[in-house]
């Protein structure tokens, strides 16, 4: 036989079990989004290259998949590319449809994205993103709702998590008060290593990154913040007294914490000044969620952005959003064995028959049961018992209704519980499983 066919590297087929698990994750997330009034949109897989280019930095541009159609000569620059994330298409969508969108616009989007990354374990060239955003309001209630959504999604999935929160304005304030306003990112990157390398090495790195001795000294109170989130915020308020933007950041964090306590949010939340994702576009809150019982990177993250749509010519639209990492959540649930058992099979009952007349009776019975909402299969051939049972086993079907000539004569089935092996003769109208 010819060589087995294959798929492009970095891509995946999803089997029925994998799909059942993925659908479980997505439908859990979708149900929670719906409780908060978010509604779904979809955008095309292809965007114009002019929409995509220059939005992900020089490295990102290189990772775009370009699309050619046969009308185009190979030498021409393709005018279309596959979407790299859901954020840029969303910004494009908001600007393109701004006249018909109702703001604040609460949308979610669950679609694949493509990146020409070098494939490796846990990194794919096609993977799903699951983004939820509110745009068109500065209200911090939006941040609060997103945190409530995080709490509820992971409560439903049974994954214990903690949420790390930071605020870009606080980071800017720190850089300002220590006299190094242009070094915000350097400072954040260095203090991110505090737990790993200790305060002395962090200070060393700060000097290497061009901070003056005076700035390093001024930064020390930040490295020594102690207590719970509120204690830290109180200390920050003192440290950042000279920075308007810094104080604004502290106030935003205080407001969010206050609201969360009003709504009885039980999610463990850490004020984490080292959290530095997306500093080139986030302007306020920054979030990251980690699973507590398994070693894995961030499984959800996001933040507040004040100028997402500016790149497409619509300035001053503030928004806040988070993205659930479906592949990592999948891995966490697998590792912790948290999937509901009944995902293995959706079929509740298989009819197994040993003749054409029996098959006909099975088809009639199956039709009757399906009308009552039962998920039923009929093994389509009157083949050997062993083969039909093996089918039920492999598909984890919990009950088999056997129809031989005796059962047919009585218009009944021998109902077998595949787990216990128990059997009983029963009529279709009385069949309870």
HSE value, Cβ hemisphere, 13 Å, CA-based, for 36? 27
In the three-class reduction of DSSP (H, G, I as helix; E, B as strand; rest coil), residue 96 is classed as helix
> Does the footprint of a copy of itself cover residue 238 (CB under 8 A)?
no
Segment near a copy of itself (CB under 8 A); pick from 7-15, 204-212, 300-308, 410-418: 7-15
CB closer to a copy of itself, 74 vs 409: 74
Bridge partners, residue 352, by sequence: 402
Phi, psi of 210 (to 5 degrees): 95, 10
Contacts of 99 (CB under 8 A, 6+ apart): none
> Does the footprint of a copy of itself cover residue 133 (CB under 8 A)?
no
> Does the footprint of a copy of itself cover residue 141 (CB under 8 A)?
yes
Segment near a copy of itself (CB under 8 A); pick from 99-107, 221-229, 238-246, 278-286: 99-107
> Does the footprint of a copy of itself cover residue 267 (CB under 8 A)?
no
CB closer to a copy of itself, 137 vs 212: 137
Segment near a copy of itself (CB under 8 A); pick from 171-179, 212-220, 241-249, 388-396: 388-396
Interatomic CA distance for residues 364 and 43, integer angstroms: 44
Closest approach of Cβ 151 to a copy of itself, in Å? 10
Helices 213-223 and 229-239 cross at an angle (nearest 10°) of: 150
Parallel, antiparallel or unpaired: strands 161-167 and 126-135: unpaired
> Does the footprint of a copy of itself cover residue 281 (CB under 8 A)?
no
Closest approach of Cβ 207 to a copy of itself, in Å? 37
Contacts of 46 (CB under 8 A, 6+ apart): 67, 80, 81, 82, 83
CB closer to a copy of itself, 114 vs 287: 114
Among candidates 275, 324, 329, 326, which has minimal Cα distance to 300? 324
> Does the footprint of a copy of itself cover residue 342 (CB under 8 A)?
no
Q: Are 411 and 427 in contact (CB under 8 A)?
A: yes
Q: Are 114 and 82 in contact (CB under 8 A)?
A: yes
Q: Which of 197, 199, 241, 263 binds a copy of itself (CB under 8 A)?
A: 263
Q: Which of 56, 63, 229, 270 binds a copy of itself (CB under 8 A)?
A: 63
- Among positions 159-218, residues that touch a copy of itself (CB under 8 A) are none
> Does the footprint of a copy of itself cover residue 282 (CB under 8 A)?
no
> Does the footprint of a copy of itself cover residue 106 (CB under 8 A)?
yes
């Amino acid at each position: 036989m010819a060589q087995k066919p294959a798929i492009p590297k970095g891509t995946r087929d999803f089997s029925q079990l994998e799909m059942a698990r993925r659908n479980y994750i997505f439908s859990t997330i979708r149900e929670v989004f719906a409780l908060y009034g978010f509604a779904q949109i979809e955008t095309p897989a292809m965007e114009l290259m002019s929409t995509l280019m220059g939005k992900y930095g020089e490295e990102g541009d290189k990772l775009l998949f370009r699309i050619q159609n046969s009308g185009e000569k190979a030498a021409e620059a393709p005018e279309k590319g596959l979407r790299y994330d859901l954020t840029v298409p969303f910004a494009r969508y908001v600007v393109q449809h701004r006249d018909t969108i109702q703001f604040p616009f609460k949308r979610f989007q669950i679609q694949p994205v493509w990146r020409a990354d070098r494939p490796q374990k846990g990194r794919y060239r096609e993977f799903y993103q699951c983004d939820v955003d509110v745009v068109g309001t500065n209200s911090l209630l939006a941040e609060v709702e997103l945190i409530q959504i995080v709490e509820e999604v992971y409560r439903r999935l049974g994954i214990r998590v903690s949420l790390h929160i930071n605020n870009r304005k606080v980071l800017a304030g720190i850089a300002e008060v220590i006299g190094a306003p242009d070094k915000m990112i350097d400072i954040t990157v260095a203090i991110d290593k505090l737990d790993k390398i200790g305060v002395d090495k962090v200070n060393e790195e700060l000097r290497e990154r061009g901070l003056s001795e005076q700035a390093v000294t001024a930064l020390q109170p930040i490295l020594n913040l102690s207590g719970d989130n509120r204690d830290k915020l109180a200390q920050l308020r003192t440290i950042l007294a000279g920075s308007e933007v810094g104080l604004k950041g502290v106030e935003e964090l205080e407001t969010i914490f206050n609201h969360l306590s009003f709504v009885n949010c039980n999610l463990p939340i850490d004020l984490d000044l080292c959290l530095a994702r997306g500093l080139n576009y986030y302007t306020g809150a920054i979030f990251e969620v980690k699973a507590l019982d398994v070693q894995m990177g961030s499984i959800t993250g996001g933040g507040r952005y004040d100028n997402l749509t500016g790149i497409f010519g619509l300035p001053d639209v503030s928004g806040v959003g988070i993205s659930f990492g479906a592949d990592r959540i999948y891995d966490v649930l697998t590792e912790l064995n948290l999937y509901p058992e009944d995902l293995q099979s959706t079929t509740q009952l298989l009819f197994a028959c040993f003749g054409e007349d029996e098959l006909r009776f099975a088809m009639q019975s199956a039709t009757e049961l399906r009308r009552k909402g039962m998920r039923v299969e009929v093994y389509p051939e009157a083949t050997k018992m062993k083969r039909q049972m093996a089918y039920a086993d492999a598909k984890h079907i919990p009950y088999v209704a056997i129809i031989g000539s005796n059962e047919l004569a009585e218009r009944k089935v021998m109902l077998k519980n595949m787990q216990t092996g128990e059997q009983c003769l029963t009529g279709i109208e009385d069949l309870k499983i």
